Chain A
Amino acid sequence: MLKVEEQQPVEFSPALIEKFGEIIGRYPQGKQKSALLPMLHEVQAELGWLSTVAMDKVAARLDIQPIEVYEVASFYTMYFLRPQGKYMLEVCRTGPCCLVGAEKLMNHIEDRLGVKEGEVTPDGLFSWRGVECLAACGYGPVLQIGPEYTFYENLDEQKVDALIEDLRKK
């Protein structure tokens, strides 16, 4: 099991700090809070998840209260409030994908990785979860892997096995 060290200090890379400036520049003067969602995506891409310490630093950069960051991070499904596996397999579990076998595929992934939905494999490499409609219903079953959100379509058990093997070798 991964140990969550909530108070671990967080350092943003210079590239990330520069990116913050670029994002904030997209909005009118005084409306910098609009940058919150894109900034949280950038932070998560760099750190893998959003710790309280990291969210507090974002709040300070945007000159807003920490609670304004927490309430947003906990509302939207894409932000991870605890560490996940390096590769988070997010499988669409909504109607149209289920018509073409998404539920069977999720059972297979659970067996294959040996961890339940939302858990992390002991080597820290994988987690998986079912997510709601990913807007690719004609190409189901589908899954995506952050932080790039690479997209895999028309999946079956063999394709998922091959994908997991590829990721292991990376």
Chain B
Amino acid sequence: MARKLLLEHINVPGINTLDVYRQKGGYRAVEKALKTLTPDEVVEEVKKSGLRGRGGAGFPTGMKWSFLAKPEGVPRYLVCNADESEPGTFKDRYLMTHIPHALIEGMIVSSFALGANTSYIYVRGEMMPQIRILERAIAEAKNAGFLGKNILGSGYDLELYVQPGGGAYICGEETALLESLEGKRGNPRIKPPFPAIAGLYGCPTVVNNVESIAAVVPIVNDGGDEYAKIGIGRSTGTKLISASGNLVRPGVYEIELGLPVEEFIYSDEWCGGIANGKRLKATVAGGSSVPILPANLTLKLANGEPRLMSYESLSEGGFATGTMMGSGGFIAFDEDQCIVRNTWNFSRFYHHESCGQCSPCREGTGWMEKVLHRIEYGHGKMSDIDLLVDVSKKIEGNTICPLGDAAAWPVASAIRHFRDEFEWHVNEPVKSLDTNYGLANYAEPIAKAEVTTGN
């Protein structure tokens, strides 16, 4: 059995309450940190753990923490990013619903490490049930003396609040989140300055994903070195994977990084294979923003070696034959799914969610959506396919925040790997309305190692 750090006790009845959570060893990390460690020592453990941000970017958490400016007399803030909205990702909802105290405990320890006396958990507004769960858990923790003034007699004070969003994917971008938390529209800020220098209310701020903050608890309990022993290479520890699409058992799984992708999809310990006895056509391995891969490149690298669930292995081959770990939103497509339709669907999502601040993204996402719509509905031209590539390249890298890249990559990668399916839609406008292109050759063994540089 794989080692579980976050979800070990997820099936214990009542684990959402403080009492049961404590019986299972909960709040040990708060006691250890506040009574025996200095804030800098906690930061040091997180650095040693090699923990990388679990929200999508994969930036080392300890390093992010060490960038936090500490001017005298200026408050510092820790803000938890619980604006989980990346299509394919639902791990944070799962964690907050079932084991809310793991996040609260992580927030207390992390706030202590960063010297924050007021911290916020920014939860997407649609998750009102989870907001109620967290507020109840915070009240419990406060009653037990884990929040408020002079926590456990250590002299450290912390107030923790839950902030609801208003329904906007863009608020998952950390500076848009801070704008939203200040009561404004979620328009990302130009960086620098980074939040570590000027974040919430212009004060030094760290923004971390729910899973990253929850992972601080086992890191403090067992030590960063122990955490770093799990996983492979620079992908240390465990990761929550949200598995969705045409799988026998979709859901949230905690894996040790380095698990072979093939084992994750087909083993009965994990997703149990493709639903309804179908065959795998493609996957999006890290949430809708990352490049889509055909089945053969999902399971194996271009050189034929098995692909692993790790930051490095998933991105092996660059954008030519690889993808990204992203937020761990693993979407599987069976042989009956239409790649053109799905690409159009994702484009509509990014068009809908573009904040409208940068013209390449505001105009480009809508343009791509329209062109994809006409290809899907039998009005496409052959030149539309290159037009899409062209538009995607002009969005990529030309926007303030990564939403532009996130909108461009799914389109560019779908055409890179499934161009024949797009061409079929153009050549067979009537047939493609009620028939699917099918599996084609996407699951066949990779013929030869491809050149893996560039796009």
* Contacts from A to B (Cβ < 8 Å): 26, 28, 31, 33-38, 40-41, 62, 64, 68, 71-72, 75-79, 93-96, 98-100, 131-140, 144, 146-151
Other A-B contacts than A95-B331, A132-B85, A149-B127, 13 sampled, CB-CB below 8 A, are A33-B182, A33-B183, A38-B164, A40-B166, A75-B186, A77-B167, A95-B87, A95-B349, A96-B244, A132-B352, A138-B244, A146-B128, A148-B129
Complex: chain A residue closest to B329, CB-CB: A137
Q: Are A37 and B245 in contact (CB under 8 A)?
A: no
Q: Are A133 and B182 in contact (CB under 8 A)?
A: no
Counting chain A CB atoms within 10 Å of each CB, the highest count among B75, B165, B245 belongs to B245
| B112: Cβ under 8 A from any A Cβ | no
A95 to B92, CA, bound (A): 19
Evaluate whether A99 and B337 lie within 8 angstroms (CB atoms) in the complex, with A36-B183, A37-B180, A132-B353 already known. Answer: yes
Q: Are A72 and B129 in contact (CB under 8 A)?
A: no
B312-341 interface bits toward A, Cβ cutoff 8 Å, 1 = contact, 0 = none: 000000000000000001010100010001
Q: Are A137 and B165 in contact (CB under 8 A)?
A: no
Number of A-B pairs, beta carbon distance below 8 Å: 152
A93 to B344, CA, bound (A): 12
Evaluate whether A98 and B342 lie within 8 angstroms (CB atoms) in the complex, with A133-B86, A137-B89, A149-B128 already known. Answer: yes
What residues of chain A lie closer than 8 Å to B126, measured between beta carbons?
78, 131, 134-135, 144, 149
Q: Are B164 and A28 in contact (CB under 8 A)?
A: no
Q: Would you give 7 A-B contacts (Cβ < 8 Å), ordered by A?
A: A36-B183, A41-B128, A62-B183, A98-B342, A135-B85, A135-B124, A136-B90
Q: Are A135 and B125 in contact (CB under 8 A)?
A: no
A79 to B84, CA, bound (A): 19
Q: Are B245 and A34 in contact (CB under 8 A)?
A: no
Q: Are A100 and B245 in contact (CB under 8 A)?
A: yes
Cβ of A5 to closest chain B Cβ, rounded Å: 25
Q: Are B165 and A76 in contact (CB under 8 A)?
A: yes
Complex: chain B residue closest to A62, CB-CB: B183
A132 CB contact (under 8 Å) in B128, B242, B349:
B349
Instruction: Determine the interface band of chain B, counting residues with CB < 8 A from chain A.
Output: 35 or more
What residues of chain A lie closer than 8 Å to B180, measured between beta carbons?
37
Cβ of B274 to closest chain A Cβ, rounded Å: 11
What residues of chain A lie closer than 8 Å to B342, measured between beta carbons?
95, 98-99
Complex: chain A residue closest to B89, CB-CB: A135
Q: Are B128 and A76 in contact (CB under 8 A)?
A: no
Cβ of A150 to closest chain B Cβ, rounded Å: 7
A132 to B345, CA, bound (A): 10
Evaluate whether A137 and B242 lie within 8 angstroms (CB atoms) in the complex, with A37-B164, A95-B87 already known. Answer: yes
Complex: chain B residue closest to A78, CB-CB: B167
A99 CB contact (under 8 Å) in B159, B251, B333:
B333
B164 CB contact (under 8 Å) in A31, A41, A100:
A41
Complex: chain B residue closest to A36, CB-CB: B183
Q: Are B183 and A35 in contact (CB under 8 A)?
A: yes
Q: Are B163 and A138 in contact (CB under 8 A)?
A: no
Q: Are A138 and B87 in contact (CB under 8 A)?
A: no
Cβ of A155 to closest chain B Cβ, rounded Å: 14
What residues of chain A lie closer than 8 Å to B75, measured between beta carbons?
28
Q: Are B93 and A79 in contact (CB under 8 A)?
A: no
| B191: Cβ under 8 A from any A Cβ | no
| B118: Cβ under 8 A from any A Cβ | yes
Evaluate whether A148 and B337 lie within 8 angstroms (CB atoms) in the complex, with A37-B180, A76-B165, A77-B167 already known. Answer: no
What residues of chain B lie closer than 8 Å to A28, measured between beta carbons?
75, 118, 201
Complex: chain A residue closest to B331, CB-CB: A96
| B161: Cβ under 8 A from any A Cβ | yes
B93 CB contact (under 8 Å) in A41, A71, A93, A135:
A135
B349 CB contact (under 8 Å) in A34, A94, A135:
A94
Q: Are B166 and A96 in contact (CB under 8 A)?
A: no
Q: Are A137 and B250 in contact (CB under 8 A)?
A: yes
